[in-house]
């Protein structure tokens, strides 16, 4: 067969496979949004969930998801950026580095149920944190760390060596070169990775069933005392997230409008995750253009 003909056939097959992936994605997103968006309203987003009567909302679950995400990032980002800087700038190619990279890969491939059971046995039972936002945030850190660490390392490695050499030639120390030159240059990639990992954390459910709990107790949204059991800022209270709420509604709910709550909650979850992904590209490109223009 002629090489050009073979090339056209191979290219056509690749385009068909890509089109299939896009069509599957459009079908899934379209089905969820078409069925769920009509059920979304201001009342649905701002009212409390109901256990037995119809007309409940997702106010507490939505807030719990955002609060849990923020707490997870507070815990995981400093660790990830430290590990990323070490692997990209300080680590040498030896057996220790190989063990670290292998550990990161293994950690990223752990099933969420296994991480949830581990968090249940260690955090909930052994450390007596109970079903709480803190237990959930620590469990989700196991998911967030590998993705964030790899992203930060790759972003730092993508910075040309010329930038580092220029900083050292100006008399800057290695740490000053990293913090003043390399990290600002890699900031668009790092920020993109943080936002993408946030989308994954926001949609996680299995690990949180065993750590954050399956209930959303009534809390006071005017009580700012984090030591109060009724405070919405208390990290030691149980917190049913939006993803867990969807699972619970589809498996255990006895409310008359369970299918409406499930469809609306799923649509909200998909919209938020899409916003995370789109904003990652937009913000990353915007910061990159600003850095390029400043040069």
Mean pLDDT of 217-223: 77
pLDDT for the residue numbered 38: 92
Residue 44 has pLDDT above 70, yes or no: yes
- Does this model's pTM top 0.85? My answer is yes
Mean pLDDT of 130-148: 90
Tens digit of each residue's pLDDT (9 = 90 or more) over 8-26: 888 899 999 999 999 999 9
Residue 1 has pLDDT above 70, yes or no: no
User: Who has greater pLDDT, 37 or 6?
Assistant: 37
- Grade residue 294 by pLDDT with cuts at 50, 70 and 90: low
Rounded to whole angstroms, the Cα distance separating 45 from 19 reads 35
pLDDT for the residue numbered 61: 92
- Report the top-level CATH class of 42-294: mainly alpha
Mean pLDDT of 37-46: 91
**Count of CA atoms in the C-beta half-sphere (13 A) of 79:** 14
Mean pLDDT of 249-258: 84
The string of DSSP letters for the chain reads --HHHHHHHHHHHHHHHHHHHHHHHHHHHHHHHHHHGGG--HHHHHS---SSSS----HHHHHHHHHHHHHHHHHHHHHHHHHHHIIIII--SSHHHHHHHHHHHHHHTS-HHHHHHHHIIIIIIIS---SSHHHHHHHHHHHHHHHHHHHHHHHHHTS-HHHHHHHHHTT--HHHHIIIIIHHHHHHHHHHHHHHHHHHHHT--HHHHTTT-S-----BTT---TTSTTBTT-TTS----HHHHHHHHHHT---TTHHHHHHHHHHHHHHHHHHHHHHHHHHHHHHHHHHHHH-
Residue 229 has pLDDT above 80, yes or no: no
pLDDT for the residue numbered 291: 64
Tens digit of each residue's pLDDT (9 = 90 or more) over 195-217: 888 888 888 888 999 999 887 77
Residue 185 has pLDDT above 80, yes or no: yes
Q: Which of these ranges, 98-112, 150-164, 165-179, has the smallest mean pLDDT?
A: 165-179
Please report, rounded to a whole number, the percentage of residues in the chain having pLDDT higher than 90: 33
pLDDT for the residue numbered 193: 84
| Interior angle at CA 205, CA 130 and CA 191, nearest 5 | 100
pLDDT for the residue numbered 293: 67
């Amino acid at each position: 067969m002629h090489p050009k003909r073979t090339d056209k056939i191979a290219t056509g097959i690749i385009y068909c496979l890509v089109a299939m992936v896009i069509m599957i994605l459009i079908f899934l997103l379209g089905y969820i949004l078409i069925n769920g968006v009509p059920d979304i309203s201001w009342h649905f987003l701002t009212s409390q969930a109901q256990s037995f009567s119809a007309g409940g909302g997702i106010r507490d679950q939505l807030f719990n998801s955002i609060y849990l995400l923020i707490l997870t990032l507070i815990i995981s980002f400093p660790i990830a950026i430290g590990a990323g800087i070490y692997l990209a700038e300080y680590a040498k190619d030896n057996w220790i580095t190989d063990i670290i990279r292998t550990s990161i890969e293994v950690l990223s491939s752990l099933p969420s149920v296994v991480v949830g059971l581990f968090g249940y046995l260690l955090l909930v039972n052994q450390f007596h944190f109970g079903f709480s936002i803190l237990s959930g945030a620590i469990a989700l850190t196991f998911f967030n760390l590998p993705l964030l660490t790899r992203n930060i390392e790759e972003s730092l490695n993508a910075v040309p060596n010329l930038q580092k050499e220029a900083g050292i030639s100006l008399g800057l120390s290695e740490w000053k070169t990293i913090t003043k030159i390399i990290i600002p240059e890699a900031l668009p990639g790092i920020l993109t990775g943080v936002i993408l990992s946030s989308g994954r954390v926001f949609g996680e459910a299995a690990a949180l069933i065993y750590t954050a709990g399956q209930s959303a107790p009534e809390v006071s949204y005017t009580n700012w005392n984090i030591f109060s059991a009724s405070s919405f800022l208390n990290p030691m209270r149980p917190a049913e997230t939006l993803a867990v709420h969807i699972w619970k509604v589809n498996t255990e709910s006895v409310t008359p409008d369970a299918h409406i709550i499930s469809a609306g909650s799923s649509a909200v979850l998909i919209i938020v995750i899409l916003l995370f992904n789109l904003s990652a590209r937009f913000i990353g490109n915007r910061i990159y253009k600003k850095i390029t223009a400043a040069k």
